[in-house]
Chain A
Amino acid sequence: MDPAIRLRGLHKRFGDTIAVADLDLDIAEGEFFSMLGPSGSGKTTVLRIIAGFEQPTSGSVALFGRDVTALAPFARPVNTVFQDYALFPHLSVIANVEYGLRVAGVARKERRAKAEEALASVRLAGFEDRRPHELSGGQRQRVALARAIVLRPQALLLDEPLGALDLKLREQMQVELKELQRSLGITFVFVTHDQDEALTLSDRVAVFDAGQVVQLGTPREVYDHPRNPFIASFVGSSTLLEPDVAARFGLPAVATAVRPERVTLDGADGGVPGTIAEVIYTGPEHRIVIDLDDVGARITALEPNIGAGRRRSRGDRVTVSIDPAAAAPLESDASAA
């Protein structure tokens, strides 16, 4: 079966800047696919090329087996939810949602019914006659969503759709998005710079850096086995161990990333001794920074806040150990891509 989206040799240049460099990517049907990266990494450009708003300098875009590289946005079977929603300010909520159906020539009654259904699915029933400027950010976001899904696109492209929302609302919308994707069963291509969001929602994540995909895999693969220091530090937090330090922990003598929650303090079988330099209280857990003896390196550990029990403080002596299975040996930068 053809993938929902297939990009081949995609290259995009803006003047002297290379936004996307020779990208090959397949996104499967029904997949929740995230493109994660810092701003300027090329992820939004790829999304805009898929939607048809930008023409690639070279390379091709195929949707469901059909080459659409030369097609205008209106001729592509995908719809977009924009970062700033891009609702039509002169149209009511229902008219915004009906817009695509009206363009497609759907009869008045039918499009009204479909639009109401879409609004209900984003829990905005009753807001039909409001104008966009009368809505909150979260409500506008849902209108944008409803406006895109009412057309039953084969793939939905979302450009940082939650970026403008506050934390609480964002978390709530994440759940709703996931449920929506599951119920619709269509491909979601989700652009974000928020690694939490990407890990939470996605079936697969592509990590972008400087116009290239530096790692592609399930959230677990990307998180547990970052391929290079960039990914290790951009996705979640890690302590990077130099080869000699890794060797002290009994790990292979290569550069290694260690997640703080995988670091054990005062484990049964000893470990590397050190002194606690800092204890940071974050609510659900303690973040503990340890100066390791001898090697002159620091490592961060995470311990759950279980309320009772021993409480660590600055200057305490501890031993640090790492489960070899929990450490991620990194590839050298040259072979990262």
Chain B
Amino acid sequence: MSKSPSRTALRAGLAATAVVSLAACGTSSSDGGSEAAASLGATEGSVSILAWPGYVEDGSNDASVDWVSGFEEATGCMVDAKTYGTSDEAYQLMQSGGYDVVAASGDLTLRLIAADLVAPVNTDLLESYDGIFDFLKDKEWNSVDGVSYGVPHGYGANLLMFNTDEVSPAPTSWDVVFDKASDYAGKVTAYDSPIYIADAAMYLMAHNPDLGIENPYALDEDQFAAAVDLLKTQNASIGEYWSDYLLEIQAFESGDSVVGTTWQVIQNSISSGNTDVVLPEEGATGWSDTWMIASESEAPNCAYAWLDYIASPEVNAQATAYFGEAPSSEAACDFRDDCEAYHAGDEEYAAQIWYWTTPVSDCVDGREDVECVDYSEWTKAWQEIKG
């Protein structure tokens, strides 16, 4: 059997790519991967975008919610958008290729960068970048060694929500869902994702300093075991775990849940009026989303145009307001009347947030003497916690 020359060539090419990307990982630098664009050319006429629901609205879901048409008119880039439900799904779709731009949360960005699926972004080419809050720029989830991989979009914290009738006085600590959870047995709720283990780790960081946790996403075996144990205890008091925010709204409105993690948008949506949210003294986990450009993009100019457009104050205000999170710039608040509710630009508030990051065996807190527990272990542990 003879191999066709083209297939041999293809395999050689693949092998070379693999070597290159391995080298990139090994030296944890970006010089082996894609290069950021140095300048922009003519737009390509179309751009394919992968994003969370509500991030790319063209009026088809709600006629009054449309910022895509303006982009298409201004740039001539026709938008083809696809939404995803989980970071893992987004990762799979990016692997399959065909997307120019992706909106990624912090637990997805590093994986995309490590697999060389996204390219560095030359922020000098983006007019809107300057106005973005400094505390969102060049973070560990959107940059590697000072090289930016995208533009911040919006952020929010996983807050502590409580029923003001049932939980009194107003809590100031996460202990109401951990050490004192049994007071509300059967009515405690928690986010149904392995990443929630970080919430327990963050609580232990404050309440069990002996464990030496520095970053809730960088847990060695012992620290991880302690967080898992805490969650197993919590499980006895859990009414339900939530991942669908509409169910969470309904559960708090009906009183089935009285205390647990939440998002600001959920508090904004609850109509019963007997709930409140607080950022507890231990801080909170949260998300910060980043617009990134695929390394294999065939429409980089349209992609840059989208990043610039979506970060512009008015559009950013529209999009983040629609989703229910803080915008990325002070200027965007001019176009929103609810910035305060989301603590937009409140640096102190933002500093209390531990943004979602993918746990990997190379501890993200910089420790080199131990191996950290990676995300696949978090996933297994999460199922064990739920029992």
Are A and B direct contacts in the complex by CB distance below 8 Å? no
